[in-house]
Amino acid sequence: MSLMNGKQYIESLRKLNTKVYLFGKRVDNFVDHPMIRPSINSVAMTYELACDPEYQNLCTAVSGLTGKKINRFCHLHQSQEDLMKKVKMQRLLGQKTGSCFQRCVGMDAFNAVYSTTFEIDEKYGTTYHKNFVDYMIYVQEQDLTVDGAMTDPKGDRSLPPSRQEDPDIYLRIVEKNKDGIIVNGAKAHQTGAVNSHEHLIMPTAAMKEDDKAYAVSFAVPSDAPGISMIYGRQSCDTRKLEGTGCMDCGNCTFGGQEALVVFDHVFIPWNRVFLCEEYEFAGILVERFAGYHRQSYGGCKVGVGDVLIGAAACAADYNGVQKAMHIKDKLIEMIQLNETLYSCGIACSALGTETAAGNYQIDNLLANVCKQNVTRFPYEISRLAEDIAGGLMVTMPSQADFDSPETGEICKKYFKGPKGTDVMERMKILRLIENITLGAAAVGYRTESMHGAGSPQAQRIMISRQSGLDEKKRLAKKLAGINT
Ligand code: SF4
Ligand code: FE
């Protein structure tokens, strides 16, 4: 089976014995849990679209390893066109789900680990690349969702991993034996972790020799002994417990997900290990993964932005202000900001280059500029959406009040918009805007825009490193007639 549909994906999760905690208790059936299921539906959409003839050109690819048709989320990019299709696919999925669809972290990790293991093997004669190619073929054939896991909890950020008070605060190798390695630690903020079949672990930062026990990359099934996950809370998340179709959720079908993934003496066989103490490659792996994920945000956030802009335009209709010049101008501003992000995602893809291993890497400077813009523009787009929506977005009564025999008619009378508009439609659109800008989806649209794929300062460091400032000074001096 190399292409699953959404239903098959959901059923495949039931076969796993994933250990998930929510509100302090183990969840027996996470697949049907009302707070978790919307995030599963979002991942399921990545499978559904790949099976839909209308979207197959974007959402599938031909594997460079096997020549078979696979889901693009399992693909090693073979060209600049592949890189651009990835961004277009992410925009499409953002439009369809209005949330984070989680599967990109795995795709970005595949491409970063593929090229890096090739270079480690070239230097040390190791077999990491062969291990990884075998693993990739397995992932492609099974059409798996994989959590690309990079971020450690980090403890005291002024100290390197080996000098932390608690040695597990960065994930580390605690034992090596003839069969494999044993690891301890955790990965934090893991997008889609609970909904993934597997985890692909990477180090979180560049490492020095003292930190070599922390320079580790491997793949492991989500339900391997010793792995547990603690589900992250989201704003307004318990509204999802109020029942399907609840207007108050804003978007009760789809959502994102983050979790803390804990590794308690987890055994990894050697054929699943892709980096083990070759510390000088940790920074390269981090840089490549971060670059790909910064490119990704030029797609997914743009798709969610499309939904938010559409919702703001609908709110203007329901408020009767759609013809006001300042409203039209605000919508134009939102579109311009959103398309700027898309331009960055496409640009860093169009200038991608082939790696020594043969897959394609984005232009790293432009990918970092892309993500730096993402740390700002969704906030401005959200501000404008809230401006257009009006205060009712955060003061309106609940669906229960609209349904109540005692208060329903009063609510409908006083919250009605222009003649010919439906009061409940107006409320639904406002709740959707609330969901994306302040509610559960805001994790993926706003705060993740700031901190996902690295916080703003991480991009500024990369921009500074790659800016070629000396060359710019040389250009200026030449034109100014300065010969020093
Ligand atoms: Fe994909 Fe965007 Fe979610 Fe990252 S934040 S996993 S790029 S949808
Ligand atoms: Fe993310």
Protein residue whose Cα sits closest to atom 3 of ligand 1: 100
Q: Note if 258 is an active site residue.
A: yes
Give 442's pLDDT tier (boundaries 50, 70, 90).
confident
Q: Is 254 within a domain?
A: no
Alpha-carbon distance 4 to 49, whole Å? 10
Pocket of ligand 1 (CB under 6 A): 100-102, 104-105, 191, 296-297, 300, 444, 448, 452
467: helix, coil or strand?
coil
Protein residue whose Cα sits closest to atom 8 of ligand 1: 100
Give 430's pLDDT tier (boundaries 50, 70, 90).
very high
Q: Is 415 within a domain?
A: yes
Q: Is 276 within a domain?
A: no
Q: Note if 370 is an active site residue.
A: no
Q: Is 279 within a domain?
A: no
Q: What count of other Cβ atoms lies within 10 Å of the Cβ of residue 225?
A: 11
Cα-Cα-Cα-Cα torsion 368, 370, 375, 376, nearest 10 degrees, comes to: 130
Query: Checking phi first, is residue 260 left (phi over 0); if not, alpha (psi -120 to 50) or beta?
Result: beta
19: helix, coil or strand?
coil
Mean pLDDT computed over 202-224 = 97
Q: Is 380 within a domain?
A: yes
Residue 245: what pLDDT? 73
Q: Note if 54 is an active site residue.
A: no
Active-site position among 300, 344, 348, 411 = 300
Tokens linked to 346: 């496409």
Mean pLDDT computed over 440-464 = 92
Mean pLDDT computed over 243-255 = 88
Alpha-carbon distance 250 to 27, whole Å? 25
Q: Is 258 within a domain?
A: no
What kind and span of H or E run contains 172? strand 172-176
Neighbours of ion ligand 2 (CB under 5 A): 191, 452
CA torsion sign for 85, 87, 90, 91 is negative
Mean pLDDT computed over 307-324 = 98
What kind and span of H or E run contains 187? strand 180-191
Distance 447 CA to ligand 2 centre (A): 10
Distance 186 CA to ligand 2 centre (A): 18
Domain at 337, CATH number: 1.20.140.10
Cβ atoms of 132 and 65 within 8 Å: the answer is no
Cβ atoms of 30 and 229 within 8 Å: the answer is no
Per-residue pLDDT tens for 81-106?
Answer: 999 999 999 999 999 999 999 999 99
Distance 281 CA to ligand 1 centre (A): 25
373 pLDDT higher than 80: yes
Give 244's pLDDT tier (boundaries 50, 70, 90).
low
- Does this model's pTM top 0.95? My answer is yes
Alpha-carbon distance 95 to 307, whole Å? 6
61: helix, coil or strand?
strand
Of all ligands present, the nearest one to the C-alpha of 256 is 1
Distance 320 CA to ligand 1 centre (A): 35
Tokens linked to 283: 């920074």
Determine the atom of ligand 1 nearest the C-alpha atom of 108. Answer: 7
Q: Ligand 1: which of 95, 191, 194, 295 to mutate, most ligand atoms within 8 Å of CB?
A: 191
Determine the atom of ligand 1 nearest the C-alpha atom of 256. Answer: 3
Instruction: State how many domains the chain has.
Output: 1
Mean pLDDT computed over 12-41 = 97
Q: Is 455 within a domain?
A: yes
Q: What is each CA distance from 351 to 346, 392, 454, in whole angstroms?
A: 9, 45, 22
Q: Is 290 within a domain?
A: yes
Residues 6+ apart with CB under 8 A from 63: 69, 70, 74, 75, 76, 140
Strand 198-201 and strand 146-149: pairing? parallel
Q: Note if 249 is an active site residue.
A: no
Domain that holds residue 300: 285-473
Q: What count of other Cβ atoms lies within 10 Å of the Cβ of residue 119?
A: 18
Distance 106 CA to ligand 1 centre (A): 10
Residue 440: what pLDDT? 87
Residue 1: what pLDDT? 62
Whether residue 421 is annotated as binding a ligand: the answer is no
Q: Note if 100 is an active site residue.
A: yes
